[in-house]
Structure 1
Amino acid sequence: MRRRTFLSGCAAAATIALPGWARAQQGAVGIDAASKTVTVGAFTPVTGPVPFYAILTRAADACFKHVNDTNALDGWKIKFVTYDDGYEPARSVAVTRRLVEEDKIFALAAPVGTAQSVAVIPYAKEVGLPMIGPIGGATALFSERLVFPLLPDYGWSAASNLDYAINGLNASRVALLWENDELGRSAKRGFDLLMQARQLQSAESIPFEVRSTDFTPHVRRIANAKAEVVILFGSNANLAAALKTADRLGLKAKWMAPFFTADPTTYKLAGKLLDGTYFSSWLMPVDADDAAIKAYRDTVAKRYPNDPIGVFGLNGWSNASLFVEGFRMLLASGKPLTRASLVDVMETMTNRAVGGAREVTFKAGDHRGARQEGIIQAQSGGGFKLVRGFEPYPAAVFDAKLS
C-alpha cells in the first residue's frame, strides 16, 4: 500500500493570532505536546477507477502546508498521513485502522469518498475517532456525532437551483435532467419536495445514464414541454453534452447545474456554450477576490503546479480547512486536546467561513455543515461570478427527513 506523509495545515480565517492554546494532556492520541504537532490522516484513491480524485487530497495537503507555513495555529503543526485505498470501501476501513493503530492519528481529515466514508463509520465509533470533512454526500454522514460533513445533500442543492429558477429567473416551467444514480436521485428528491411545497409541477423530469453522451431525446422532450429553465444534475461531461445537443436542436432555455460543474474543466468540454449557465454552489467561485480563495489558488499553484485550479481542488481545500478551524477552536477553548474535546467544540461552530464555504454551523444533534448556497454564473471568457449571495436552503427541503 502506497504511503504519503505530509507535514502541514489551512484556512485564511485561521491566520489570526490565537488567544491561547489548550493544555495538551501527555499521551493524548495524535498529540505531541513537546513538538506541538497534531497528526491527522485520510484515505485517498491514488489507484483504482478514479485516481484523479487524489486532487482532493493534494489540495487538502496544500491547505495544511499553508497553515504550517503561516504559523496559523500559534506554533502548532499538522502532520498529514495518507494511504491509497483504491476507492474500495473495505480498503478504506483497513487504511483507517492502520492510521489509528500505527500512525496514532487524532482524527480523519478530508477522507475521500461517499461509500468509503460510510463504511468507516462503525470502526470510527468503536475507537472514538472524529471524521472531519469527509468528502462525500451520504445521508449517514449527517447522523453520527463523530462525523462533521461540509458537503450538502444534493437534494438541498437542487432545491436551491429550483428556488432561483422560480424567484430569480421568473420561470414557470422548469425541467430536471437527473443522473440515474444516488447523486441524481438525491437531486430529484429535493426538486420534487420543493415543487410539491410550492404546489407546482415540473415541465419534465427525465433520468439519464452516467455515461450518456447523446441527449437528443431528452432535449426534444424538454423542448416539447416548453421548459424555460433546465436543471441538470450530472457530471461535467453530461452537462457539456446536453448543452451541445440543445444548441444543435435550437433549444433556447436557460441552464442550471450543481456546484462541481462550475469549473474550468467544464469550459474545456463545452466551450462558449457554457456562457450564462447558472450553478447553485456552497462554495465561492474559484476566481473570487477573497483571501481564503486566493490562498487556495496560490498555494496549490506552488505546491502542486500540475493540478488544475478549480472547484474540485477548492472542495478538498475547504474540507481540510474544516479540521483547521475546529482545531483552532479547540486550542482557544482551554479544553484538553482530546478527540472528545474536538467533537465538543465542533458542535459549537456557528456561522463560520471555512475555506470556500460560508455560514458553516454545527450543533448537537445537527451536523448539517453547509447551510447556505449562492448562485454562480459562467461568464464570457471562462470565468465564474457570484450573481446571488448565499441564502439558506429552502426549508421545505432542508428540514425534510433525508431518505
Structure 2
Amino acid sequence: MFARIIGTTALAAAAIALASVAAFAQKKYDTGATDTEIKIGNLIPYSGPASAYGVIGKAEEAYFRMINDKGGINGRKVNFISYDDAYSPPKAVEQARKLVESDEVLLMFAPLGTANNTAIQKYLNAKKIPHLFVATGATKFNDPKTFPWTTGWQPSYQSEAHAYAKYILKEKPNAKVAVFFQNDDLGKDFLKGLKDRLGARIVAEESYETAEPTIDSHIVKLKATGADTLVNVSSPKFAAQAIKKIAEVDWKPLHIVINASASIGSVIKPAGVENAQGVISATYLKDPADPQWDNDPGMKEFQSFLSKYYPDGNKRDILLITGYALAETLAQTLKQCGDDLTRENVMKQAANLKDWRTEALLPGIYVNTSPTDFAPISQLRLMRFVGEKWELFGDVINGDTAD
C-alpha cells in the first residue's frame, strides 16, 4: 500500500512538473520582453524644426500609461522609452542605437519623418528589430522583400494619389492635369501615384525646392499650360502660397491639396479662407476640431482619455488623436502576440491585422496587413473646404484598388 501511494504521488508530481514545463515553454521572449514588461523604443522630434510633432510622442506615452493602469498588455506593463531626435537623421541613428544596444528594447515604434526613418531602416533590419508603424507616408516603408522588419501605418503617398486620381477621372474624365510637387520623396511618390492612374491626362509637371522663398512663378507657369486641374503636392508653407497666388492670378482649376497640407491653422488661414473655397483634400482620421464628432462615442472616449492622462494636451489637435491611434494599433499587435514576444512573432502579428479598427479612424476605414503588404491603412475619404471648415463627401476610397 505504502509503495503504491509513493508511486501515485511520484506520478502526480511528474505530471505537475511536465505541465509546468509545458506552460513555461509556451512563453517565448526576445530581449526587451519578460513576464512583467515590454520595452518599446520611440523617436520623436521634441525639439528642432519639427518640434510641433512632439505632442504625438506625448500622446503615445499617455496611452501606454493608461494601458498600464488597466493591467498592461496580456499582464505585462509597457515600458515606453521615447527620445528626442530633433528631426535630424544623424541624431536619429544615435538614439536608435542607444535604444537597441543600451536600453535593449523589443521593438522600435512610430519614429517620425521620412529622412529619419530612412537613416535607421537598414540598421534596424540588419539587427532584426521590428521597425513598426513609421510615421511617414513614403511608399519605401512598405517593402517586405527588401526590408522585412519595417512597416508603415498611414496611407502611403501613392495610395493618397490614387484616391485623387479616381476622383478626377470620375468628375473630369477629360481633365488636363498639372502637378505641382516638392522635389523629394514626398513629391516623387505622389507624382508616381498620379501617373499610374492619370497617364497622358497630366499635361504639366512643376517641381520646387524647399529652399525657395516663394513659388509664385511656378503657379504662373502652370496656369499658362491651360491645365484645368491642379494637384498641389507641397508642404504647408508652399501650399498656402499656392492657394493665395491661384486666387491672385484668377486661375480657377479643380484644386486638390494633399492631406499633409490640409491644416486650417497653418495653410488655409494664412492663404485666406476666401481663397480656399472648394479646395479638395482627403483624410482618414476623425478630426477632434470637427464638431460633427462631438457626440461620437469614439471621440468621447478619446477626449476622456486626454482629460485624465494628458490634460495639458490641446483637445482639438489632430496630432494627439494620431498618436492615440498609433499606440492603439501597436497595443493590438502586442495583444495578438500572446505569450510569444519574440521579435519574429511581433512582425508576424504586425503583418496579420485583419479588418481591425481604432475608433479614431473615420467610419468604414479599417487596418489590414498581410505578409506581402505592410501598409496598414490604404483607405481615405475626400473632403471639400466650405465656409470655414472641411466637409466630408463621397464614399470611402481604397487607394490601393485598381480602377
The 3 A distance-change label for structure 1 pair 330 and 379 is farther
Report SS of the residue matched to 2:191. helix
Tell me which of 340, 355, 358 is aligned to 1:351.
355
Aligned to 1:131: 131
Aligned to 1:338: 342
Shift of 1:155: 2.5
Shift of 1:46: 2.6
Tell me which of 176, 184, 190 is aligned to 1:181.
184
Tell me which of 160, 180, 204 is aligned to 1:157.
160
The 3 A distance-change label for structure 1 pair 206 and 213 is same
Contact map agreement 1:349 1:360 (CA 8 A) in 2: yes
CA RMSD of aligned residues (A): 3.0
Aligned residue type for 2:187: G
Structure 1 CA distance, aligned partners of 2:366 and 2:249?
A: 41
Contact map agreement 2:161 2:399 (CA 8 A) in 1: no
Structure 2 CA distance, aligned partners of 1:258 and 1:136?
A: 14
Superposed CA deviations along residues 203-242 of structure 1, whole A, max 9, x for unmatched, are 4322123255544333333433443332101112212111
Q: How many residues align?
A: 367
Aligned to 1:63: 63
Contact map agreement 1:263 1:310 (CA 8 A) in 2: no
Structure 2 CA distance, aligned partners of 1:250 and 1:195?
A: 25
Q: TM-score scaled to structure 2, two decimals?
A: 0.80
Structure 2 CA distance, aligned partners of 1:41 and 1:132?
A: 10
Report SS of the residue matched to 2:202. coil
Aligned to 1:8: none
Structure 2 CA distance, aligned partners of 1:62 and 1:269?
A: 32
Aligned to 1:370: 377
Contact map agreement 1:68 1:78 (CA 8 A) in 2: yes
Superposed CA deviations along residues 45-86 of structure 1, whole A, max 9, x for unmatched, are 233333223233223223334444566846543221111223
Superposed CA deviations along residues 260-298 of structure 1, whole A, max 9, x for unmatched, are 223232333234133332113343444362544554455
Q: Does 1:194 align with 2:193?
A: no
Contact map agreement 2:41 2:107 (CA 8 A) in 1: yes
Contact map agreement 1:300 1:309 (CA 8 A) in 2: no
Aligned residue type for 2:281: F
Aligned to 2:15: none
Q: Which has a greater percent of helix?
A: 2
Contact map agreement 1:23 1:337 (CA 8 A) in 2: no
Q: Does 1:387 align with 2:388?
A: no
Aligned to 1:5: none
Superposed CA deviations along residues 170-219 of structure 1, whole A, max 9, x for unmatched, are 662222111122211211111122122xxx32243221232555443333
Structure 2 CA distance, aligned partners of 1:46 and 1:88?
A: 11
Aligned residue type for 1:163: K
Aligned to 1:267: 268
Report SS of the residue matched to 2:181. strand
Shift of 1:336: 1.8
Tell me which of 288, 295, 317 is aligned to 2:324.
317
**Unaligned stretches of 5+ in structure 1?**
1-21, 398-403
The 3 A distance-change label for structure 1 pair 90 and 215 is closer
Contact map agreement 1:351 1:361 (CA 8 A) in 2: yes
Aligned to 2:223: 223
Written as runs of structure 1 = structure 2, the 5 A alignment for 1:77-92 is 77-92=77-92
Shift of 1:340: 1.8
Structure 2 CA distance, aligned partners of 1:28 and 1:102?
A: 15
Structure 2 CA distance, aligned partners of 1:184 and 1:46?
A: 25
Aligned to 2:149: 146
Contact map agreement 2:26 2:340 (CA 8 A) in 1: yes
Structure with more relative contact order (C-alpha pairs < 8 Å, separation 6 or more): 1
Percent identity between the two aligned chains: 20
Aligned residue type for 2:189: S
Shift of 1:395: 4.3
Shift of 1:369: 2.0
Q: TM-score scaled to structure 1, two decimals?
A: 0.80
Report SS of the residue matched to 1:283. coil
Contact map agreement 2:139 2:156 (CA 8 A) in 1: yes
Shift of 1:114: 1.8
Shift of 1:366: 2.2
Superposed CA deviations along residues 98-133 of structure 1, whole A, max 9, x for unmatched, are 222332322111112222222223332343321111
The 3 A distance-change label for structure 1 pair 293 and 270 is farther
Contact map agreement 2:29 2:341 (CA 8 A) in 1: no
Q: Following TM superposition, where does structure 1 have runs of at least 4 consecutive aligned residues deviating by more than 6 angstroms? A: none
Aligned residue type for 2:141: L
The 3 A distance-change label for structure 1 pair 246 and 125 is closer
